């Protein structure tokens, strides 16, 4: 999207420190998906295992200086892909620039993501409500980019028992979560149709 159009994106405030930028990356959707294809050629999507021993329904890969992984020993960030023992693919400039522009639009200038987790949702895939707390520094926001088919996003509060709001995230919607929203519980309801991707940009270290 041109900076002119980006500046015209309606900014929906969905919570304290959290904004939804509908269609923010609409001009870049195809280039972003081409970049996902190139990353997956180096670091294929895989179903990781949680410490509890369950295979995740969402298939994942990463790019950037470090990547989020889980196995029987726990959740953590790793500089290398455990499947290949090679460093994760470099974060493409188009990813980094998008994350930075979105964060700035959401009120977080100078975001420097070092990790991009790429989630792929096939039919029936879901993400149970959780907090993102494996990062060193919670002062940086998280930027999430939805690509492909829509999904119902679940977003609660700082306690697991807090009431959950739902909203639909569509192709090229971008959400920025920071400040008081950084540690809210969130998840994704089971998707009926596959073909949804989500890029989650974080400052992990």
| Closest-CA residue to 81 (of 69, 92, 95) | 69
The verdict on 81 binding Fe ion (CB under 5 A) reads no
| Strand-pair partners of 87 | 80
The verdict on 171 binding Fe ion (CB under 5 A) reads no
Residue 88 Cβ, how far from ligand MD3 at the closest point, in Å? 15
CB atoms within 10 A of CB 113: 24
The verdict on 135 binding Fe ion (CB under 5 A) reads no
Residue 186 Cβ, how far from ligand MD3 at the closest point, in Å? 4
Closest to ligand MD3 by CB, 39 or 117: 117
Closest to ligand MD3 by CB, 2 or 169: 169
Closest to ligand MD3 by CB, 96 or 155: 155
Cα of 19 vs its chain's centroid, Å: 14
Q: Which residues bind ligand MD3 (CB under 6 A)?
A: 117, 119, 127, 132, 142, 144, 175, 177, 181-182, 184, 186, 188, 198, 200
Q: Are 88 and 64 in contact (CB under 8 A)?
A: yes
Burial group, residue 124, by CB count within 10 angstroms (0-12, 13-18, 19+): exposed
Angle between helices 93-105 and 29-42 (to 10 degrees): 130
Q: What tokens were used for 10?
A: 């309606």
How distant, in Å, are the alpha carbons of 28, 93, 157 from that of 184? 28, 29, 5
Give the whole-angstrom CA distance, residue 123 versus residue 191: 6
**Interacting residues with Fe ion between 113 and 132 (CB under 5 A):** 132
Residue 116 Cβ, how far from ligand MD3 at the closest point, in Å? 10
Residue 25 Cβ, how far from ligand MD3 at the closest point, in Å? 14
Q: What tokens were used for 135?
A: 């990062």
Residue 2 Cβ, how far from ligand MD3 at the closest point, in Å? 25
Q: Which of ligand MD3, Fe ion, none does residue 144 bind (CB under 5 to 8 Å by kind)?
A: ligand MD3
Give the whole-angstrom CA distance, residue 164 versus residue 41: 37
Closest to ligand MD3 by CB, 6 or 188: 188
Q: Which of ligand MD3, Fe ion, none does residue 142 bind (CB under 5 to 8 Å by kind)?
A: ligand MD3
């Amino acid at each position: 999207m041109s900076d002119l159009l980006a500046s015209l994106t309606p900014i929906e405030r969905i919570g304290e420190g959290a904004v939804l930028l509908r269609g923010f990356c609409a001009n870049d959707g195809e280039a972003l998906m081409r970049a996902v294809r190139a990353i997956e050629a180096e670091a294929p999507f895989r179903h990781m295992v949680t410490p509890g021993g369950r295979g995740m329904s969402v298939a994942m890969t990463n790019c950037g200086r470090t990547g989020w992984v889980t196995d029987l020993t726990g959740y953590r960030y790793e500089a290398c892909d455990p499947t290949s023992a090679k460093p994760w693919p470099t974060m493409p400039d188009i990813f980094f620039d998008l994350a930075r522009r979105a964060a700035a639009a959401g009120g977080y200038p100078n975001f420097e993501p070092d990790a991009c987790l790429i989630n792929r949702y096939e039919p029936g895939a879901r993400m149970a409500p959780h907090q993102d707390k494996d990062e060193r520094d919670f002062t940086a926001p998280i930027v999430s980019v939805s690509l492909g088919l829509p999904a119902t996003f679940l977003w609660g509060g700082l306690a697991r028992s807090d009431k959950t709001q739902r909203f639909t995230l569509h192709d090229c919607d971008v959400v920025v979560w920071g400040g008081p929203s950084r540690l809210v519980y969130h998840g994704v309801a089971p998707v009926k149709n596959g073909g949804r991707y989500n890029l989650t940009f974080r400052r992990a270290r």
